[in-house]
């Protein structure tokens, strides 16, 4: 059976504390989701109070999203007005998203005590809203908000609500455990009961307030749900949403279901880490399947057992989800991963070779300092090529300086100077910019563009900073992560230091060297 994944990272995930996606963030994540193979990408809630989401739906039309359907999210019409007069529904139509998803009330107390209308009026709000959107959409999906709490309180009314959604033309009715308090056995029974009353496709949307969002989602699929809504890495308000990374692995590898993303599971860890980087969230090292320690073994019988028969201590081969086995006390940790990456530079390289072992040790030292090469492939490739003697830096840094000033008019001025050497020539350039990193970037490009015209096409698309470890004072180490792009590709680099300017400089240098190397 084919199960569809409906991703709501850009809307539900964006409601998490500490996450606030910019328009560029949302576009970047949409491309990652498309590459991953999500069936649906919910872009957000287009309305006048949410300009980023409005801009997203305008911008996404010109992006190459070929694997996924773009969905816009909203609610049923307000009470006592016609659907075509409702501003939220009008905004959904204006979004031009092929899929429209709206939520409505399933719990009687929400109808009478929250939106203050009559039970019958709420039923008409559901059907009339869907009928209106059906005329302007390729597909309409109905999210039955608070369905499980509503069913437990008043099963007759909850069923009436979703039957009206079916009557209104919803292609899929998604049962929502909005409060996240339902148990797996309750999910299984209630979803089973729903199939006795409606004939359309059923989906599931779970929150993680009891730590059971993944288990509840799988329970619903077990009894017939064919769509699972969730968020990459489980972001979301309160305790988060169902984690689509874990769900995808479980559905394919443990339950035998077919998913569009099945062939992309070997890149599952990459997709998880890449979204974390865009969200500027610390990755969960203990995350199932893809966490840094998910296949890490420390000492004694475990390592001995894994070396003899890997399945004696591992439920799957880590490579199936793009992860790697690690022996904490052994120098074998990560060798296969390094060899796999090196094979793209030197095809056929032996992971047991001296050069691979030396590079592995170098990578370990760098990662101990705070580098993360999983999502900074540009920095890894530059490190590897330098180590292998396949690239020599085309310029040398003699020095750089950043000056921050605030004039009497309280306007900040950032000025950066760089001093470089190319062959025997010394180049010294100065630029002002919007902040110290922008000033450094401009000065570096100005110094190099005459000798390396290719860098003129390079854009700095994203810049993020993360404090590393438990030391969070002003003397803490930081990792700077930069996304570069040109007309052909995108690449990421990282720099680590206790000095944020130095960390930024290191990441900038790797990004420029990467471009020069690729063009050669």
Taking only the tens place, the pLDDT of each residue in 262-279 is 999 999 999 999 999 999
Taking only the tens place, the pLDDT of each residue in 415-449 is 999 999 999 999 999 999 988 999 999 999 999 99
pLDDT band at 390 (very low <50, low <70, confident <90, very high): confident
Give residues with Cβ within 8 angstroms of 178, minimum separation 6: 145, 146, 147, 149, 205, 207
Six-digit token string for 68: 């996924």
Q: What is the pLDDT of residue 329?
A: 35
Average pLDDT over residues 165-174: 97
CB-based burial of residue 472 (10 Å sphere; 0-12 exposed, 13-18 middle, 19+ buried)?
A: exposed
For 109, phi then psi, to 5°, come to -70, -25
Cα separations in angstroms, 494 against 3, 367, 425, 481: 37, 11, 28, 5
Q: What is the pLDDT of residue 172?
A: 98
Asked if 442 contacts 465 with a C-beta cutoff of 8 angstroms, the reply is no
Asked if 161 contacts 190 with a C-beta cutoff of 8 angstroms, the reply is no
Six-digit token string for 391: 């690239």
Q: Return the DSSP state at 23.
A: H
Q: What is the pLDDT of residue 336?
A: 53
Query: Is pLDDT above 60 for 470?
Result: no
Q: What is the pLDDT of residue 415?
A: 93
Give residues with Cβ within 8 angstroms of 309, minimum separation 6: none
pLDDT band at 110 (very low <50, low <70, confident <90, very high): very high
Query: Is pLDDT above 60 for 344?
Result: yes
Query: Is pLDDT above 50 for 330?
Result: no
Q: Which residues of 176-197 are buried (b: 16+ CB within 10 A; e: fewer)?
A: bbbebebebebbbebbeebeee
Give the range among 224-238, 319-333, 382-396, 397-411 with minimum mean pLDDT: 319-333
Q: What is the pLDDT of residue 488?
A: 82
Average pLDDT over residues 8-32: 95
For 425, phi then psi, to 5°, come to -95, 135
| Strands 4-7 vs 40-44: parallel, antiparallel or unpaired | parallel
Taking only the tens place, the pLDDT of each residue in 83-95 is 999 999 999 999 9
Q: What is the pLDDT of residue 308?
A: 65
Q: What is the pLDDT of residue 351?
A: 65
Give the range among 297-301, 305-309, 405-409 with minimum mean pLDDT: 297-301
Average pLDDT over residues 117-139: 96
Q: What is the pLDDT of residue 45?
A: 94
Q: What is the pLDDT of residue 230?
A: 98
Q: What is the pLDDT of residue 332?
A: 40
pLDDT band at 474 (very low <50, low <70, confident <90, very high): low
Give residues with Cβ within 8 angstroms of 52, minimum separation 6: 21, 22, 23, 26, 44
Q: What is the pLDDT of residue 339?
A: 64
Q: What is the pLDDT of residue 212?
A: 98
pLDDT band at 375 (very low <50, low <70, confident <90, very high): confident
Cα separations in angstroms, 168 against 121, 172, 227: 14, 11, 19
SS3 of 250-289: the string is HHHHHCCCECCCHHHHHHHHHHHHHHHHHHCCCCCCCCCC
% of the chain at pLDDT higher than 70 = 92
Q: What is the pLDDT of residue 360?
A: 80
Instruction: Name the residue with higher pLDDT: 183 or 485.
Output: 183
Query: Is pLDDT above 60 for 334?
Result: no
pTM over 0.75: no
Instruction: Name the residue with higher pLDDT: 396 or 282.
Output: 396
């Amino acid at each position: 059976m084919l199960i569809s994944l409906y991703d709501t990272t850009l809307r539900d995930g964006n409601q998490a504390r500490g996450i606030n996606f910019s328009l560029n963030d949302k576009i970047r994540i949409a491309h990652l989701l498309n590459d991953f193979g999500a069936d649906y990408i919910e872009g957000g809630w287009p309305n006048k109070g949410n300009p980023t989401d409005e801009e997203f739906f305008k911008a996404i039309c010109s992006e190459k999203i070929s694997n996924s359907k773009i969905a816009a999210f909203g609610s049923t019409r307000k009470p006592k007005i016609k659907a075509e007069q409702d501003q939220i529904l009008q905004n959904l139509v204006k979004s031009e998203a092929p899929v429209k998803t709206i939520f409505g009330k399933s719990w009687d107390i929400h109808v009478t005590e929250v939106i203050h209308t009559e039970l019958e009026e709420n039923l008409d709000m559901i059907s009339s809203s869907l009928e209106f959107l059906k005329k302007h959409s390729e597909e309409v999906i109905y999210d039955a908000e608070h369905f499980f709490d509503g069913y437990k309180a008043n099963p007759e009314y909850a069923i009436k609500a979703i039957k009206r959604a079916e009557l209104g033309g919803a292609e899929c009715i998604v049962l929502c455990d909005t409060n996240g308090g339902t148990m797996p056995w309750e999910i299984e029974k209630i979803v089973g009961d729903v199939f006795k009353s409606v004939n359309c496709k059923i989906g599931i949307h779970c929150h993680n307030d009891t730590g059971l969002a993944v288990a509840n989602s799988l329970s619903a699929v077990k009894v017939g749900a064919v769509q699972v809504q969730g968020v990459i890495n489980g972001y979301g308000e309160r305790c988060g949403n169902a984690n689509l990374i874990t769900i995808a692995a479980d559905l394919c590898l443990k339950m035998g279901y077919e998913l569009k993303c099945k062939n992309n599971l070997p890149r599952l860890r990459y997709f998880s880490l890449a979204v974390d980087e865009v969200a500027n969230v610390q990755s969960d090292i203990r995350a199932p399947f893809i966490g840094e320690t998910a296949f890490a073994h420390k000492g004694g019988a475990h390592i001995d057992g894994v070396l003899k028969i890997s399945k004696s201590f591992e439920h799957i081969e880590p490579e199936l989800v793009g992860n790697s086995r690690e022996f904490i006390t052994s120098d074998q940790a990560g060798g296969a991963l390094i060899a796999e990456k090196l094979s793209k530079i030197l095809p056929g390289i032996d992971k047991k070779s001296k050069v691979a072992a030396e590079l592995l040790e170098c990578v370990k030292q760098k990662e101990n300092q705070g580098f993360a090469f999983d999502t900074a492939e540009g920095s890894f490739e530059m490190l590897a090529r330098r180590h292998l003697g396949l690239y020599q830096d085309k310029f040398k840094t003699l020095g750089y300086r950043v000056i921050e000033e605030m004039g009497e008019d309280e306007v900040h001025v950032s000025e950066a100077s760089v001093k470089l050497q190319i062959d025997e020539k010394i180049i010294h350039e100065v630029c002002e910019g919007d902040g110290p990193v922008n000033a450094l970037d401009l000065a570096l490009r100005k110094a190099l563009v005459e000798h390396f015209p290719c860098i003129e096409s390079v854009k700095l698309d994203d810049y993020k900073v993360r404090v590393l470890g438990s030391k969070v004072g002003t003397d803490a180490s930081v990792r700077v992560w930069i996304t570069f792009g040109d007309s052909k590709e995108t690449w990421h680099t990282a720099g680590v230091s206790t000095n944020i300017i130095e960390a930024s400089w290191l990441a900038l240098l790797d990004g420029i060297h990467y471009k020069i190397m690729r063009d050669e």
